[in-house]
Structure 1
Amino acid sequence: MDDAVFYRELPKVELHAHLNGSVSVQTMEKLISQKQHLNIDHSRTAVGKGQSRTLDECFEVFRVIHKLVDTDEDILMVTTDVIKEFAADGVKYLELRSTPREEKATGLTKRSYVETVIKAIHQCKNEGVDIDVRFLVAIDRRNGMEVALETVKLAEEFMLSSGGLVVGIDLSGDPTVGHGKNFLPALERARNSGLKLALHLSEVPSQQEESALLLNLPPDRIGHGTFLHPEMGGSQSLLDKVVQNNIPLELCLTSNVKGQTVPCYSQHHFKYWYQLGHPSVICTDDKGVFCTDLSQEYQLAASTFGLSREAVWTLSQRAIDCCFAEESVKQQLRQTWKSLRPRLFQ
């Protein structure tokens, strides 16, 4: 079995996928052709092969995508397309995350935004798409403290009404805006109501104090964590907190290299955490914006860090432990892995 086939057939878990950042070129084409009056150029919606962008420029790409995705219909199409693409790439369990948005002009509300994502998940299930999907409601740092609290209340409501599809809260957005301490009340409330916490942490070097505060919660998973460990300018005390609490990291290789927070693949912090034996999950972050998919990310990790197919299989299987779904779902996933293994290692 050649590499491309092996990595695509490898059953995978995706735990760090921003909905709008995961929109593929094909779906973008549909949106752009439907909204020609916006005059949006393709090159502004993705970072192609061999290209990189500063973190600021990456957030600019999201602003362009948000202009294209501004109705309930758009969100339904985008979400179903994204789910089907992940399924086609061998992903068996997916946690999507997105910030509920409202657009006065189109009648989109934050509530209808979440309802539409849930509707898309049900629709894919009913069509027999072979993937289990959950949703994390995202707090965007730029929107401040009050909106964060509203977002948590919305997530609590859907946690109870969505039949277990809304499982957690994501804290994300431009890491240079605002301070994590402002979000502690909202995050503590979320945790107390039973929502899981996936927090973007230490994405940029200047966040030592904030990371220490947020690690005291502690989060259930960490997004990126690029500058947590001492070799990347972090501190021993931050490292100790992560290790003592056994907090899994969601690691996104291409995203970090193209977004220029990591100089190159061989210097990616995946190596550090993997050698430490710490729970580390390979993810895409924004497969549309960064022109990648999860198969490619696994293959990159393997070729860069010399992982055997056996090691890659173990890495993919261990990601199941880090899911926010209930234990029965994890058990089913372990069964799926077990049943697919002989085909990959014949």
Structure 2
Amino acid sequence: MIDYTLPVIDLHRHLDGNIRPATIWELAQQHNIPLPVDNLAQLADSVQIRDRTSDLLAFLKKLDYGVSVLADLDACYRIAYENVQDAKNESLDYVELRFSPYYMAHAHKLPVDAVVEAVINGVKDGQKEFGVKANLIGILSRTFGVDCCELELQALLAHKDHIVALDLAGDEAGYPAPLFSQHFNQAQRAGWAITVHAGEAAGSDSIWNAIRLLGASRIGHGVAAQNDDELLDYLAENQIGIESCPTSNYQTTTLVDTANHPMKSFFHRGIKVTLNTDDPGVSAIDLEHEYRVAYDVIGFTKEELATIQLNAVEQAFLSDDDKAKLKSKGVKK
């Protein structure tokens, strides 16, 4: 249900949550890293979610398989490069790839700043090879705690001209936004935009904190906003977008029923909703799948989905000139 005559954009895609099962298998063989399966077919069943998990933290555990095989910087480069190739294969015009360098470095104790550099180089070379425009969003993985996030932030700031925004992801309930206000003050001083995972595993207060304490101009998931009329009005009036990821929300049990996903009510409240894949390698989906879910299950019309595609242009962390280029897109070949 994507209109390919309009810009095709994914704004909420985790680079480290989009590692191909075949790549995980090959890297494990290359580096003699044990996996709890005997072949690639079994691995796909282990690393991808076919229905749903028990909660957000169980979902995040699935990502651990991919990062467990990042044994050197070449592996980090490879998955970044392959993410851009995947975007090309999905006919995306623009993608924002977010990643947690500490999370990627953790299993094999890689230097975090070097992981950032490897990812930047992989995405840069992928853009040259495949012709897809991509930007990088750094993630602070709050699950590891405040001190590790500071280390992660400094590694990202060392390459600040190659990063467009900062995000906070991981255990939302266990590590709330107030713990990280100083980190995001630094990010804003560096000139970065801010997007924050909020309202996924905690309530609407988490979204308010993301905006007021961290400076978020976009909210990842934002499901809990449905319970706060004042917040809904605020998001609409201030054009703070919600990066909706319906399949992910079902798989993490953030929502029980995709047909009643609040993104439709968000849309009709005038909020700049976008449609995204989150962790497509784990969820075993692509962006076309999410648009079909939005049409077939949530009940958006084709005209509404076209508006959502254009919302993504407006909400993208791009210059006005780059947005204008996307909007002027002709019919895809």
TM over 0.5: yes
User: Which residue in the other structure is 2:22 paired with?
Assistant: 26
1:167 alignment partner, one of 146, 164, 169: 164
Give the TM-score, by structure 2 length: 0.89
1:201 has 2:198 as partner: yes
User: Which residue in the other structure is 1:252 paired with?
Assistant: 245
CA contact under 8 A between 2:165 and 2:195: conserved in structure 1?
A: yes
Amino acid at match of 2:87: F
Q: Secondary structure at the match of 2:57?
A: helix
Amino acid at match of 1:288: G
Q: Secondary structure at the match of 1:68?
A: coil
For the aligned residues, what is the CA RMSD? 2.3
Matches of 1:315 and 1:59, distance apart in 2? 27
Which aligned pairs between 1:172-321 and structure 2 lie closer than 5 A? 172-205=169-202, 207-217=203-213, 218-230=215-227, 235-321=228-314
1:122 has 2:119 as partner: no
Matches of 1:104 and 1:228, distance apart in 2? 33
User: 1:224 and 1:39, CA in 2 relative to 1: closer, same or farther beyond 3 A?
Assistant: same
User: Which residue in the other structure is 2:13 paired with?
Assistant: 17
Identity %: 22
Unaligned runs of 5+ in 1: none
Q: Secondary structure at the match of 1:288?
A: helix
2:34 alignment partner, one of 22, 33, 38: 38
Q: Deviations over 1:159-186 (max 9, x none)?
A: 23x3xxx101010012232221010111
Q: Secondary structure at the match of 2:98?
A: strand
Amino acid at match of 1:186: H
1:340 has 2:316 as partner: no
Amino acid at match of 2:175: G
CA contact under 8 A between 1:156 and 1:195: conserved in structure 2?
A: no
User: Which residue in the other structure is 1:94 paired with?
Assistant: 95
Q: Which moved more, 1:55-64 or 1:89-98?
A: 55-64
CA contact under 8 A between 1:215 and 1:242: conserved in structure 2?
A: no
Amino acid at match of 1:54: D
Unaligned runs of 5+ in 2: 38-42
Q: Which moved more, 1:96-105 or 1:188-197?
A: 96-105
Amino acid at match of 1:280: V
User: Which residue in the other structure is 1:85 paired with?
Assistant: 86
Q: Secondary structure at the match of 1:73?
A: helix
User: 1:46 and 1:190, CA in 2 relative to 1: closer, same or farther beyond 3 A?
Assistant: same
2:49 alignment partner, one of 37, 47, 64: 47
Amino acid at match of 1:47: I
User: 1:107 and 1:7, CA in 2 relative to 1: closer, same or farther beyond 3 A?
Assistant: same
Matches of 2:70 and 2:54, distance apart in 1? 22
Amino acid at match of 2:317: F
CA contact under 8 A between 2:81 and 2:122: conserved in structure 1?
A: yes
Amino acid at match of 1:212: W
Matches of 2:299 and 2:216, distance apart in 1? 30
Shift of 1:306: 3.3
CA contact under 8 A between 1:14 and 1:93: conserved in structure 2?
A: yes
Amino acid at match of 2:253: Q
Matches of 1:298 and 1:221, distance apart in 2? 20
Matches of 2:233 and 2:306, distance apart in 1? 28
CA contact under 8 A between 2:68 and 2:107: conserved in structure 1?
A: no
1:68 has 2:69 as partner: yes
CA contact under 8 A between 2:7 and 2:326: conserved in structure 1?
A: no
Shift of 1:51: 4.4
CA contact under 8 A between 2:13 and 2:278: conserved in structure 1?
A: yes
**Number of aligned positions between the proteins:** 325
Matches of 1:72 and 1:95, distance apart in 2? 21
CA contact under 8 A between 1:20 and 1:65: conserved in structure 2?
A: yes
Shift of 1:65: 2.0
